[in-house]
Amino acid sequence: MDFSFSKEHQMLRRMAREFAEREVLPIAKAIDEEHRVPMDVVKKAAELGLLGVPFPQKYGGMGAGEIGYCIVAEELGKVSSSFATIIGAHIGIGAMAIYLGGNEEQKKKYLTPLARGEKIAAFALTEAGAGSDAAAIKTRAVRDGNYFILNGTKQFITNGDIADIITVMAVTDPSLGPRGGITAFIVEREYPGVRIGKLEDKMGIRGSSTAEIILEDVRVPKENILGPFGAGFIVFMQSLDMGRLTLGAACLGGAQTALRMAMEWAAMREQFGEPIAHKQSIQWMIAELATEIEALRSLVYRTAWLVDTRQPFTRYAAMCKMYGSEVASKAVNIALQIYGAMGYSRDFVVELMYRDAKIAEIYEGTNEIQRIVIAENLFRDFGVRIRP
Ligand X SMILES: Cc1cc2nc3c(=O)[nH]c(=O)nc-3n(C[C@H](O)[C@H](O)[C@H](O)COP(=O)(O)OP(=O)(O)OC[C@H]3O[C@@H](n4cnc5c(N)ncnc54)[C@H](O)[C@@H]3O)c2cc1C
Binding site for other proteins (CB under 8 A): 7-8, 10-12, 14-15, 18-19, 22, 47-50, 52-53, 57, 61-64, 68
Binding marks (x or -) toward ligand X, 325..364, rule CB under 6 A? ----------------------------------x--xxx
**Partner whose binding site includes residue 359, from other proteins, ligand X, none (CB under 5 to 8 Å by kind):** ligand X
**Partner whose binding site includes residue 86, from ligand X, other proteins, none (CB under 5 to 8 Å by kind):** none
Amino acid of residue 227: G
CB 247 within 8 A of CB 325: yes
State the Cα–Cα distance between residues 281 and 123, nearest whole angstrom: 43
Rounded least distance, CB 342 to ligand X, Å: 27
The count of C-alpha atoms lying within 13 angstroms of the C-alpha of 260, restricted to the half-sphere facing its C-beta, is 10
214 binds ligand X (CB under 6 A): no
Q: Which residue out of 294, 364, 368, 376 is catalytically annotated?
A: 364
* Closer Cβ to other proteins, 11 or 267, answer by number: 11
Tell me how far apart the terminal alpha carbons of the chain are, to the nearest angstrom.
Answer: 37
153 binds ligand X (CB under 6 A): no
209 binds ligand X (CB under 6 A): no
Amino acid of residue 93: I
Rounded least distance, CB 57 to other proteins, Å: 5
* Alpha-carbon distance values, 210 to 77, 160, 203, 314 (Å): 18, 6, 12, 26
Task: Identify the residue among 10, 57, 132, 311 touching ligand X (CB under 6 A).
Answer: 132
126 binds ligand X (CB under 6 A): yes
Q: Tell me the Ramachandran region of residue 117: left when phi exceeds 0, alpha when psi lies from -120 to 50, beta otherwise.
A: left
Which one of 118-126, 186-194, 283-291, 303-311 is the stretch in contact with ligand X (CB under 6 A)? 118-126
CB 249 within 8 A of CB 77: yes
388 binds ligand X (CB under 6 A): yes
Task: Identify the residue among 99, 156, 185, 301 touching ligand X (CB under 6 A).
Answer: 156
Rounded least distance, CB 112 to other proteins, Å: 13
Buried/exposed 113-148: b ≥16 CB within 10 Å, e otherwise: bbbbbebbbbbbbbbeebbeebeebebebeeeeebb
364 is catalytic: yes
State the Cα–Cα distance between residues 156 and 186, nearest whole angstrom: 18
> Segment 50-89, which members bind ligand X (CB under 6 A)?
89
Rounded least distance, CB 224 to ligand X, Å: 18
CB 184 within 8 A of CB 101: yes
Please name which of 342, 335, 374, 370 lies closest in space to residue 356, comparing C-alpha atoms. Answer: 335
Task: Identify the residue among 19, 83, 123, 313 touching ligand X (CB under 6 A).
Answer: 123
* Residues classed as catalytic: 364
Residues lying near ligand X in the complex (CB under 6 A) are found at 89, 123-126, 131-132, 156-158, 202, 205, 210, 359, 362-366, 368-369, 388
